[in-house]
Amino acid sequence: MEKKTIRPSIGGSGEGKLLLHDLVAEEILTRLPANSLMRFTCVCKLWRSTILDPCFQQVHRARSLPSDRVVPLRRAPLRRVRIALPDPCLRRKVRPRYRRSLTASFFFDPAANRASATPLLAKSRSFFPLLSRHLLL
Amino acid sequence: MASAPENEKNASAPEKKTLTLKSMINNEEFVVDEHVALQSVTIKNMVDSDCAGDVIPVPTISGEILALVIEYCKNHANPSASEDDLKKADAGIVAKDIYTLIDLVLAANFLDIKGLLEVTSQKIADSIKDLPHQDVREIFGVENDYTPEEEAAVRAEHDWAFEGFP
């Protein structure tokens, strides 16, 4: 098949490019599995910053759970993760040998990469599916 | 059947209203039932606010793509279609090459047809997920703004994802 050249609405002016980028990012990239996403960080700088953006990852996670794993965030500091544990009672119920996997689940959680404590608490309800899954193990 | 304006109001039952959509790229016209066209939120807003004339011009969408969009809208406007039928029909509509799909996703976005946007995006994601990133760059017309060193560094960050890829 003859390869079409990219149309003006896509590759031409800066504005069209951004429009397509928004669409691609919002609708298409969030539907990709994690390993494809990590490869596509090499496409260009804009794709990389989009893919590694915590908000993007949150949308991606919402779309891919429960069938897919969440993209691991390489830069997420583990220490911050402990603050993310929403409820002290829950922490007590977890036997020590499970703590590790529990922390890991927060490590994987893009929301845990947020800087301030307030959004973490506000989002804490969304942590429960993850928590209960580990407690069942 | 292209541009015949339909003004038959002789029958007793209320006549189905039609709209004409015209692709501004190759001037192709499509006459569709109003309730079919109204699945596009963009067209619905135009009709609701009375800015739609007899012919609705659709810029930036070719006739070929507009035909696909209308096919989708017709399928989904049919109240007797089962979910399975719709799924099959949708799969048929998006069984196209990647460049057509990109046009289709832009059209679905412009016309604001949520369902079509979703199935097309999913299909695009499925078709690019196993491609090397160089091909993805070419498909979307993205310019590589990394230096070779930078690209190697980014690649090293997620080395595990590149197994089996150039």
Taking the Cβ of residue A6 and every Cβ of chain B, the question of whether any pair is shorter than 8 Å is answered with yes
Task: For the beta carbon of residue B78, count every other beta carbon within 10 angstroms.
Answer: 13
Is residue A32 within 8 A of residue A41, CB to CB? The reply is no
- Closest chain A residue by Cα to residue B124: A28
Kindly report the number of other CB atoms within 10 A of residue B54's CB atom: 12
Q: Answer yes or no: is A55 within a domain.
A: yes
Nearest to A11 among B125, B130, B141 (CB): B141
- Phi first, then psi, for residue B19 (nearest 5°) are -125, 150
pLDDT digits (tens, 9 = 90+) for B118-160: 999 999 999 999 999 999 999 988 899 999 999 999 999 998 8
Q: A interface mutation test: which of B140, B154, B165 has the most A CBs within 10 A?
A: B140
The closest of B57, B53, B79, B66 to B108, measured between CA atoms, is B66
Q: At the fourth CATH level, which superfamily is domain B16-129?
A: Potassium Channel Kv1.1; Chain A (3.30.710.10)
Identify whether the C-beta of residue B70 lies closer than 8 Å to the C-beta of residue B28. no
The whole-angstrom separation of Cα A120 and Cα A108 is: 14
Task: List the one residue out of A88, A95, A93, A97 whose CA is nearest residue A124.
Answer: A88
One pLDDT digit (tens) per residue for chain B, 166 residues: 444 444 444 444 556 788 999 999 899 999 999 999 999 999 999 988 887 777 899 988 999 999 999 999 999 999 898 999 999 999 999 999 999 999 999 999 999 999 999 999 999 999 999 999 999 999 988 899 999 999 999 999 998 899 888 8
Asked if B140 and A42 come within 8 Å (Cβ–Cβ), the reply is no
pLDDT of residue B145: 93
**How many Å apart are CA B67 and CA B100, to the nearest integer?**
12
- Residue spans of the domains in chain B: they are 16-129, 131-166
Structure pTM?
A: 0.67
Provide ipTM, 2 decimals.
0.80
| CB within 8 Å: B144 and A10 | no
- Total tally of structural domains belonging to chain A: 1
Residue A121, domain member (yes or no): no
Interface contacts A/B by beta carbons within 8 Å: 87
Q: Are strands B18-23 and B55-58 parallel, antiparallel or unpaired?
A: parallel
| Chain B interface disruption, residue of A9, A41, A43, A51, most B CBs within 10 A | A43
Tell me if B129 sits within 8 A of A36, measured CB to CB.
yes
> Which residue among A10, A17, A33 sits closest to B129, beta carbon to beta carbon?
A33
**Contact criterion met (CB < 8 Å) for B162 and A39:** yes
- Verify cis geometry, omega within 30 degrees of 0, for the bond prior to B57: no
Lookup result for tokens 């003859």: A2
DSSP state of B119: H
Residue B148's closest chain A neighbor by CA?
A: A42
Q: Which domain holds residue A60?
A: 39-65
Q: Does residue A13 lie within any of the structural domains?
A: no
**pLDDT tens digit string along A1-38?**
444 444 433 333 455 566 677 777 778 999 999 999 99
Half-sphere exposure (CA, 13 Å, Cβ side) for B30? 24
> Does B151 sit within 8 Å of A23, measured CB to CB?
no
Residue B123: which residues within 8 A CB-CB, separation 6 or more? B94, B101
**Pair of tokens at residue B139:** 């498909």
- Three-state secondary structure string covering chain A: CCCCCCCHHHHHCHHHHHHHHHHHHHHHHHHCCHHHHHHHCCCCHHHHHHHHCHHHHHHHHHHHCCCCCCCCCCCCCHHHHHHCCCCHHHHHHCCHHHHHHHHHHHHHCHHHHCCCHHHHHHCHHHHHHHHHHHHHC
